[in-house]
């Protein structure tokens, strides 16, 4: 009887441990996260830019690294002053329940730029092909609309902005699966450095309903 009770107790502890670990990885609705992005871009030739970047995301009240991606992009701006064309590749690692899982995501972007009432507005359309470890490959469409207002104080440019981005699953009749609402401020310094600090509210469709995250984000971009 003691052996059976001991065995049941050990099994209960193991089950509780698995439940806690899975919750830590899943992150409940309302979780606070911190995302950090660092990048560099340079002019390769006339009308062409090349950019490299990396992003780290920390969840579980910003205490656990759960996501990392690396980007390489080529941007062409020679078609028209109001249009940029970008081809990119993103390599992603997501922390799963058992191990880190990879994703390869080549993407193509068209960014339309225009001015409205003193605001610089951009509309980015992205189509990406998602090759995810142990999952079916799929296509996803993303659209981000951003409005930015620029002010200058001596040598520093201060640009508050608002943005919204939607994610549509092309393999499931264009179903909306995620939305991101941004509010931030960009600081342009020394002509080559831009610092971006923002708040992001993300809502994602899960198996049991919609889950939202509150994100504090920082970006650092160096341009040449």
Q: Could you tell me the pLDDT band of residue 68, with boundaries at 50, 70 and 90?
A: very high
Q: 110 lies in a domain? A: yes
Domain assignment of residue 213, yes or no = yes
Query: What's the structural domain count of the chain?
Result: 1
Indicate the range of 1-10, 67-76, 214-223 predicted with least confidence: 1-10
Is 90 exceeded by the pLDDT of residue 158?
yes
**Percent of the chain scoring above 70 in pLDDT:** 88
What do you get for the CA distance between the two ends of the chain, in Å?
Answer: 74
The pLDDT score that the predictor gives to residue 168 is 98
Mean pLDDT of 77-83: 97
pLDDT value at position 173? 81
Does residue 9 lie within any of the structural domains?
Answer: no
C-alpha closest to that of 215 among 193, 198, 196, 192: 198
CATH number at residue 168: 2.40.160
Q: What is the pLDDT of residues 8-53, one digit of tens each?
A: 443 443 444 333 333 335 689 999 999 999 999 999 999 999 999 9
User: What are the pLDDT digits (tens) for 103-125?
Assistant: 999 999 999 999 999 999 999 99
Instruction: Kindly state whether residue 15 falls inside one of the protein's structural domains.
Output: no
Mean pLDDT estimate for the chain:
89
Is the confidence at residue 6, as pLDDT, over 50?
no
Q: Is residue 13 part of a domain?
A: no
Q: Residue 164 domain-assigned?
A: yes
> Is residue 11 domain-resident?
no
pTM, to two decimals: 0.86
Residue 2 resides in a domain:
no
Structural domain including 217 reads: 29-223
Average pLDDT over residues 64-82: 98
Query: What's the rounded mean pLDDT across residues 54-79?
Result: 98
């Amino acid at each position: 009887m003691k052996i059976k009770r001991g065995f049941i107790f050990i099994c209960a502890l193991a089950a509780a441990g698995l439940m806690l670990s899975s919750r830590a990885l899943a992150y409940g609705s309302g979780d606070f996260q911190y995302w950090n992005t660092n990048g560099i871009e340079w002019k390769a030739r006339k009308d062409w830019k090349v950019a490299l970047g990396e992003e780290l995301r920390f969840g579980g009240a910003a205490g656990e690294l759960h996501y990392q991606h690396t980007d390489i992009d080529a941007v062409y701006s020679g078609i028209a002053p109001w249009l940029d064309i970008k081809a990119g590749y993103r390599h992603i690692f997501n922390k799963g329940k058992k191990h880190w899982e990879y994703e390869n995501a080549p993407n193509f972007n068209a960014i339309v730029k225009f001015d409205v009432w003193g605001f610089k507005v951009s509309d980015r359309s992205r189509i990406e092909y998602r090759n995810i470890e142990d999952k079916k490959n799929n296509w996803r469409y993303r659209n981000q609309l951003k409005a930015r207002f620029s002010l200058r104080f001596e040598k520093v440019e201060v640009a508050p902005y608002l943005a919204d981005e939607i994610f549509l699953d092309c393999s499931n009749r264009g179903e909306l699966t995620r939305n991101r609402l941004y509010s931030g401020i960009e600081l342009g310094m020394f002509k080559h450095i831009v610092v971006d600090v923002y708040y992001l509210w993300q809502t994602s469709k899960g198996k049991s309903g919609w889950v939202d995250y509150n994100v504090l984000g920082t970006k650092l971009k160096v341009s040449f």
